[in-house]
Every structure is written in structure tokens, then in C-alpha cells.
Chain A
């Protein structure tokens, strides 16, 4: 058994369990939480290194041979995603120390966050569709509680929509898994890939592809299934919003990538063209929704949607370059999006409001924060030399190579609109001179300790964004290798099932 694959699941689990024993003692909980996040990141990086060196890693839990037992498998995409999950877990862990109130801590905020990370890592590492369903449920239940924790009215209203739509998608996913089992007689991804590529494959497969597209599409918040996201993501505390924005929808995107590169590749003219259409519409509706909003968190929520469109676009084009672009975009987006939400939290900490109308003059009050906002905001919009530029550049280049000019045009136009709405936040919250008409209680000054604490993860992530932008070459090489593994599933199948 390969323990490297088990650690990213076991570490958050163990942390959560131990932290639950110290429910009355927030200080111990915080320490454990931080230690767990660091350990998870370390384990994730070790896994990535192992996968990078030795190729795809797989292990059979309980030592049952492959199609019968539970398989954990990590190719480069999985490993990258686990590292990102660890990174976001750590960033949000540090951030939470300074902004989560005592009541939420007492009701198990930290263990829940760890369970959420466990679910996310499990979903990335599993090699079996039913297990994917189970991990989805694990992370969903943790996220349900995190959304509702605190019990404020907007939170509960948002939680109802979030819970309903996600349960609905789980029911669809389960139905799809069941039908797939009835059709193919297996749920192991590698085995399925082999079965579905046989010439006499059953006729239900396109219908199944659509079921999976809807089920994962709801989770990934693609057009037209995204309405739960702007209704719920801005309601919980910012640390929670940030990790949701960074990771949860991306689990849906990851599942889409996995399923539509490994299982349903028989009729790309049908499935992938549909995904391309969805990608374009997702970008447009997301960014237009963002342009219509005047509250930082809502603008950012809508931007998650439009960015999902870019990732799906790479998947839809289905060329090596496009998939590399998708992987690069995932790396870039998870970091940047989490960071933007964290900055919004710091803004709220200073001014007690998220409404653009009630903000202003932040550049004078906190120039450091202004710069820290500008870095991820420009990166999101795709300004060189930040990470977003390269991600978009690769995708646009792939689109031009595939001669899908419409989607390229859409992507570029949406980038411009992204700049517009980022500048809207910049102009209203930071640049505009006048002080606000004392809207919220001015929560604190720029000098106090917890504010500086909030800036630690923000700064770290901003530095990371710049680094990815400047060192785009090695990151892109990694993404390209991940894309290569996705497009040639032979190694994946062989690693899981054994060479025969």
C-alpha cells in the first residue's frame, strides 16, 4: 500500500477528530488546526513530488485487486489539486485565526474545515465513481454546516438554496452512477475507461454523459445551473466564502475534467461541443452578473462563475495545449480567487461594510492593502506578467489553434469586462477620495494586530501569484505534463489495473 496517497485524507480526518475532543478549548483547537493544515500541505507536496518523479501513483485500499476494491490514484492533475487544497487550507486556516468569532469556534468551526479538506482531497484522489459520490457528500455536509454556522438570516436563506441544489445534483449523480454500473458492470474509473472504449459499447453512454454533465455542472456552477452560487457564497464569514470560492466549485470542475477526459471521449463532436457552448455562456453570464453588482462579495461570487467558463473552455477544446491551459487556469484561479475574498474580508475588517457605496479612501488609509488587492485583481483580469495572463494566453492560443474563433472572442471580451468590474471595486473602494458617510462602525484601524494577521495569508498568496506569473515556464511545463496524462489515459489505466 502506498501511504503517500492516504495521508492527504487521513491527516485532516485525524486533526478533526482530535480537535473535536478539545471542543471547549479554542486555543488547543487553533493550534491543532494550524498543525493539521501544515501537515496536509507537506503531505500534498510530497505526493506531487512522487507523482512528478515516478509517474502516476495508485494504491488499493484493503489490497483487493483493482476493479473490485477501493482505489486511490493520483495523476499529476490530482496531485496538483491536492497541493492547492493544502495551500488554500493553510491560507484560510491562518486567516481564520484572526477573524472567526468565539461562538463559531465553539460550534466546531475548525473540525468542520478539516473535514471539508478531507472531502476535497478524497474527491481528488479517488479512482472510483461511487467513492467520488461519497467524498462529495463528505465535503458537502461539512460545507452545509459551514454555510449555516452562525445562524444569521442571510446565511440560512443562502444555505437553503445551497443545500437544495447540491442535494439535487447528488441525487442525479447517484442515479448516473447506478445506471453506469448497470451498463458497464464496474465503477472503477480505469476499468470504466477500458469498457467504454470497446467497440460494442452500450447505447446509453451519451445519455449518461449528459447526466454526469448536469450533476457535475451544478456543482461546478456552469451556465445555466449556477444560481445557487451567488445566492449563498457571500453569506458566511469571509474565511468560509474564500475556501468555498477557491475549492468547492473546482471539485466540480475537476470531476468534469476527469469524466470527460477518461470516460466520455467517444463522441467529442457532441459532448465537447456542448461543453464549449456552455463554457461561452458561463463566461458571459458570470461577468455580466458581476458588472451589475455593487457589493464586493457578490461581484467576486459572480466572477467565480465566469472563470469556471474558462476552465471548461479548455476541457471543451480538448487539445493538449487547451487542457494544459485548463490545468494552469485551475492553479492560477484557486490562488487568486481565494486571495480576493480574503482581501474583501480585510476591507470589511477596516470599514465594516462590503457595499461599494459605503467604502472609499482605502488607498489613503491602507496603501498596502490596496496593492494587495490590485495584484490578484489584475491577475484575475489577465494583465501580464501575473499568473492570469499566462492562463488566458494559453487558452486563447489553444482556441485559435482549434479555429474556434467565437469562443476566443468571447474569452477576450469577458477579460475586458473583468477588468472593468475589478476597476469598479478599485475605484469605489480604494481610489475614490471621500471618506464614507460613517456607514458601518469603523471596525478597527489599520494598525491593530488582528488586521496584520489577516494580511499574512493575503500577502503570501499575492507573492505566489506573482511568482507563478514570473516563473510561468516550469508551472506550464507541469500543466502540460498533466494534460498529457489526461489525454493518454493508458498509463492511468495500466497503473490502476496492472499491466495485462
Chain B
């Protein structure tokens, strides 16, 4: 399972970076979203995959039965996903406003402020 996920993560990073290197503003934001998901999946995978064993402490015990799945990476990802959605929502609004103001979604048209 780790191998499959590793390949998927690599593919997502590659796709995200490729999209970000395009000139289109829409692709840039899609690339950012995919990059964020790649990072989330990476956190999930390096947190070690232990299927089928919930981290529940049985009555009378001090620690859960080993081996158990670590809930913390999933909590982290959940937070990161929420933050990612918020940021992507903002990025989409920014895209729309930029498109309206500049009249193009070509990033090469938006270099007036570059130095």
C-alpha cells in the first residue's frame, strides 16, 4: 500500500508543479490545489498506515492494543484540508477579480509589477 501511495504522491507533485508552470491562471490555481493534496497524502502516508486497528483504549488498559493506527496524522490532514479549502476559495475569487481587471488569464500579461 505504501508503494502505491508513494507513486500517487509523486504523480500528484509532478502534476501540480507542471500545472503551476503553465501560463494560465486557472491551471496555476489547480496546480496549487493538487500540490496541497499531494502534501496531505504525504503526511498521511509517512504517519504509517495501519489498517483496521482503531486507537481505542480498552477498559482497564493504559494504552491501546498494538498495533494501532495513529490518529494524529489524520487530525493534522483534516486541519490542513480545511485550511487548504479556505485558501483555494480565496484564490478562486482572486482569479476572477484578476481576470476581470486584467482582461486575460495569461500570466505573461501580468508582469507590470515585476522588476
Which A positions have Cβ atoms within 8 angstroms of B?
130, 133-134, 137, 140-141, 144-145, 148, 151-154, 156-161, 163-164, 167-168, 170-172, 174-175, 177-179, 181-183, 227, 230-232, 234-235, 289, 292-293, 298, 302
Contact = CB atoms under 8 A, between A and B. Distances in A.
A140 B86 CA distance: 11
Given A144-B94, A171-B35, A175-B42, A157 B111 contact: yes
Contact of A181 (B73, B90, B112): B73
A156 B94 contact: yes
A232 B38 CA distance: 27
Interface in B44-100: 44-48, 72-73, 76, 79-80, 83, 86-87, 90-91, 94, 97-98
A159 B46 contact: no
A157 B28 CA distance: 14
B3 interface: no
24 contacts: A130-B79, A134-B79, A137-B87, A141-B87, A144-B90, A145-B90, A151-B97, A153-B101, A159-B94, A160-B25, A160-B98, A163-B94, A171-B32, A174-B40, A175-B43, A177-B43, A178-B44, A179-B46, A181-B73, A182-B45, A182-B47, A227-B114, A231-B114, A289-B115
The 10 tightest CB contacts between A and B, nearest first, are: A178-B43, A182-B46, A157-B110, A156-B98, A174-B39, A175-B39, A171-B39, A158-B113, A137-B83, A171-B35
A232 B115 CA distance: 10
Interface of B: 20, 25, 28, 32, 35-36, 38-40, 42-48, 72-73, 76, 79-80, 83, 86-87, 90-91, 94, 97-98, 101-102, 107, 110-115
A172 B35 CA distance: 9
State the main secondary structure of chain A at its contact with B.
helix
A235 B101 CA distance: 15
Nearest to B80: A174
A171 B43 CA distance: 11
Nearest to B88: A167
A178 B115 contact: no
B113 A178 contact: no
Given A177-B76, A178-B73, 7 more contacts: A130-B76, A137-B86, A168-B20, A171-B39, A174-B40, A175-B39, A181-B73
Contacts of B36: 167, 171, 174
B67 to A, nearest CB: 14
Nearest to A68: B72
B115 A293 contact: yes
A167 B113 contact: no
Contacts of B44: 178
